[in-house]
Structure 1
Amino acid sequence: MNDIVGHALAQKDYRQIHLARHLLPFEDHKFLKPEDARVIVRGKGVHVWDDSGKRFLDGLSGLWCTTLGYGRPELVAAAAAQMEALSYCSQYFNTAHPAVSELSAKLFELLPSRYGRILYTNSGSEANDILIKLVRRYWQLAGRPEKRVLIGRHNGYHGATVGSASLGGMKVMHELGDTVLAEVHHIAEPYWFGYQGPLTEQEFGLHAAGELEKKILALGPDTVGAFVAEPFQGAGGMIFPPSSYWPEIQRICDKYQVLLCADEVVGGFGRTGHWFAHEYFGFQPDVLTIAKGLTSGYVPMGGLVLSARIGDMLAEQGGLFAHGLTYQGHPVAAAVAVATLRLLDEGGVVDDVQRILGPHLQHRLRQAFAEHVLVGEIQGAGAVAALQLAPSRGSKQRFANEHAVGLYCMRRAQEHGLIVRTTNARVIIAPPLVSTLAEVDELIDKLGAALDDTARALKMR
């Protein structure tokens, strides 16, 4: 241990250790300062506290994952009991254990009936990475091995591994170098506010979906195996497509025999007021990737959910599907996931999001900010929403320095005790699904203060 870190540890200077020893996600370390680092030491309900005692309302559910909030005794007890009974068991060597079997039984009780099998992972990134191999293996077994190409969307996010980042269309990730898989292509995102042409919103939705058909035809229908997308874009800005978009995507995939794969890592487990976001949008994917809300973020876990048609082919046709993870189906993660799903289901949480929390959040956002000088658009459903910051309401005009505007607003929200996230000039909101109506009102008040601060800084009021 070097002297700097040793001294910092003795003084419990966690900021110094943080910056000296950690390689942080999506940060330019050259510009990081210890005084800007935040050390979170405690969480309870929908709030967290830093080491100075300041309280923050978590308006992002961690990273869209702590759906049941912090310190839930049911989840803590499930983890402790499982650790005592069986702390580890792999799924290798044709091995099962009670927790993962109970999880699968509960999960497929909640999933639409068209799904039949699951491959567990540790994260959404891993699930989307293995998705690439699975699509290609399926088409091999179907006698069409040439269908190897996958299509994603620009500004979509599917994870940070080489495979999952290739599926995603984040320019900043692709600029790292030759790390994008050659047989992955992308089409434009269905970002209505970013569109400046003559089409109506519904016409634009059809046009954006039509980009998939054009891409399939350009690449050759016999080569395209799958289209992979989030029902709504999460890290890309919580962008909801026009209602005309997903039915047309479904039609195109069906027409050209292209597997439709939905990344439900952010949208799954009640976020929209439906169990899964594809149910809210009304389409039927062949494959789902899940994570985050599966365990309410208490323990890492993800999964790749397969339709019965795909799952049965892989199981019954024979041959080795070469994959395997040390911690897939981990007993502790599975036990926490079972407890999470029971609270979401029998505890009535998802039902409450649909009937009470979601309508209140969506109403209050529009009531408070629809006429705000800085807000150009409000999108969302259930317990998820995005506010598009814009220099002029009603014109779909965008700030030239979108990233700086969004970052300023996010930091002002933190000063007011609210954690939200911004992508460019879109403010992303996703409170825990167990938030009370009073806590939603607290979120609105603090967000309003941050928006007012930002508008004043831009000399808009």
Structure 2
Amino acid sequence: MLTNDQLAAWDRDNFFHPSTALGEFARGDATSRIIEGGEGCVIRDRDGREMLDGFAGLYCVNVGYGRQEIADAIAAQAKTLAYYHAYAGHGTEASITLSKMVMDRAPEHMSKVYFGLSGSDANETNIKLLWSYHNLIGKPEKKKIISRWRGYHGSGLMTGSLTGLPLFHKTYDLPLDRVHHTVAPSYLHRPDADMSEADFVAYCARELEAMIEREGADTIAGFIGEPMLGTGGIVPPPAGYWEAIQPILKKHDILLIADEVVCGFGRLGSMFGSIHYGMEPDFMTIAKGLTSAYAPMSGTIVSDKVFKVLAKGTDDSGGAIGHGWTYSAHPLGAAAGVANLKLVDEMGLLENTRKVGPELLGALSDAVGAHNHVAEVRGEGLLAAVEFHEDVAARKAFDPARKIGPKLAAAMAARGVIARAMPGGDILGFAPPLCLTTAEAHQIADAVKGAVADVLD
């Protein structure tokens, strides 16, 4: 077996890591963590050190690590049929079964699911189908997409444009000019501290209406939003937000894309964020919790309204739809998805989320909510965050050069708990596996309290 020293050298010399400070890592100045295994909510590195994963990988290992049922399903599928494509009506038992399982869980007005590999490619599919829809109904001028600041929808060219975080724009010539960003639904960051929550929701609605008027409703194809903001700070929408936004979209014939990559399959204690917040999307983006990341798999769920138009388009043209990926509905990913969704039900993970989520949020509030640098403790289900300001009363953030968030995350890691330093401020984010126990929730909160004492006291 290779030693960690050998692997670390190979790592620095050969591996181009995503979302990494490339120069620091290549020089060996940044942390290298080589993961070997895991069970439940705990991962283990090659030195044998165990850590409670408070972020489920990247919000994605919903059922927890080491689930033999999923590994066995993938192995059995690989032995039977490791790959066949899904073009021209081809399918496998796994891909057809997973389609049925997804649609049984989706809102009733949704119709079909198209499978890909990542949330980014699913959102690329959403945009292509959205443009196709408007072309087919005779409105080819409707091409612009409205997203939100702080939203995260991927890091490709179009999806990186939809993402409302400057890190994903600078040096890449993004966003593309068909994408526009409106107000982030983050009450903490409201423009006027005297606004009530209802005032802020009304402000968000007015800003959206004003953007539509400036750009012209006849040029706007869709609006994309996470039911609850994820990478932009883990921010629940203010009360009444989606009730205020959706009528505006319907009035102007702007289709709604609900990006469920983070919220889907139980993270909020409901099967989907759209169900949780009363959304009626035309498209839903799924990934992460679809397979709990045991295999790459994503999906675009389209509404009955959209699918009927797309189907008529192929009838009228007499040909196939001009979109597809080589690995769409890959049998190994589909087998993982079937086994994973069975576990979500059998383990009672939605019920556990509804039970342990409030416990985690309460423990975080008790641990650091009164600290003079804590601006907000927030969350819903098993999504939670703690945001830190230099001056809470003045809503003044720390100087980014101080890297308070990364230092806090590092201090937590030293205590055996993984948290994520979120972009867009000094924010510690939490999205643990949905099998988190009450004891583990308090372990996370205790680590936050210790980290805050180390870094800020």
TM range (shorter): over 0.9
Paired residue for 1:339?
Answer: 339
Tell me which residue corresponds to 1:15. 8
Match of 2:411 in 1: 412
Query: How far apart in 2 are the matches of 1:241 and 1:205?
Result: 9
1:267 paired to 2:286: no
**Superposition map of 1:8-407 within 5 A:** 13-32=6-25, 33-34=27-28, 36-197=31-192, 198-318=194-314, 319=317, 320-354=320-354, 356-401=355-400, 404-407=403-406
Q: 2:405 corresponds to which letter in structure 1?
A: G
Give, in whole Å, the separation in 2 of the partners of 1:112 and 1:402: 44
Question: Which letter maps to 1:236?
Answer: G
- Give the residue type in structure 1 aligned to 2:92: H
Cα distance in 1 for residues equivalent to 2:130 and 2:323: 13
Matching residue's letter, 1:34: G
Structure 1 segments of 4+ aligned residues over 6 angstroms from their partners: 8-11
| Cα-to-partner distance string for 1:108-131 (whole Å, 9 max, x where unaligned) | 111111110111110000001121
Task: Indicate conservation of the 8 Å contact 1:9/1:17, yes or no.
Answer: no
Deviation at 1:92, TM superposition (A): 1.2
Q: What code does the residue aligned with 1:59 have?
A: G
Deviation at 1:351, TM superposition (A): 2.1
For 1:14 and 1:195, the matched residues in 2 are separated by 47
Structure 2 residues not aligned, in runs of 5+: none
Farther off after superposition, 15-24 or 176-185: 176-185
* Amino acid in structure 1 at the alignment position of 2:19: F
SS at match of 2:322: coil
What is the letter of the counterpart of residue 223 of structure 1? T
Shift of 1:293: 0.6
Give the partner amino acid of 1:201. Answer: E
Deviation at 1:434, TM superposition (A): 0.6
- Counterpart amino acid of 1:381? E
Greater Cα shift, 270-279 or 364-373 = 364-373
Identity over aligned residues, as a percent? 35
Q: In angstroms, what is the RMSD of aligned CA positions?
A: 1.8
**Displacement, 1:347?**
3.1
Q: Distance in 1 between matches of 2:215 and 2:4?
A: 60
294 and 56 in structure 1: CA distance in 2 versus 1, 3 angstrom threshold:
same
- Tell me the distance in 1 between the aligned counterparts of 2:101 and 2:225: 26
More divergent stretch after superposition (192-201 vs 110-119): 192-201
Q: Report the alpha carbon displacement of residue 143 of structure 1 after superposing the two structures with TM.
A: 1.5
Q: Residues 229-279 of structure 1, C-alpha deviation per residue, up to 9 Å, x if partnerless?
A: 111221111122211221111011011010011111011111011111122
Partner of 1:439: 440
The CA distance in 2 between the partners of 1:69 and 1:363, in whole Å, is 22
1:4: which partner in 2?
Answer: none
Contact 2:236 2:380 in 1 (8 A): no
| Aligned-pair CA distance for 1:213 | 1.4
Task: Render the CA deviation track for 1:314-369: whole Å, top value 9, x for unaligned.
Answer: 12332443111111101111111011111112432112212x22222222222222
1:287–1:306 contact (8 Å) kept in structure 2: yes
Q: Residues 11 and 157 of structure 1: is their aligned pair in 2 closer, same or farther, counting only changes over 3 Å?
A: closer
Return the letter of the residue paired with 2:262: V
CA distance in 2, matches of 1:455, 1:181: 40
Tell me the CA shift for residue 12 of structure 1: 5.5
- Aligned residue for 2:146, secondary structure, equals strand
| Superposed displacement of residue 149, structure 1 | 0.9
Contact kept? 1:141, 1:313, Cα under 8 Å:
yes
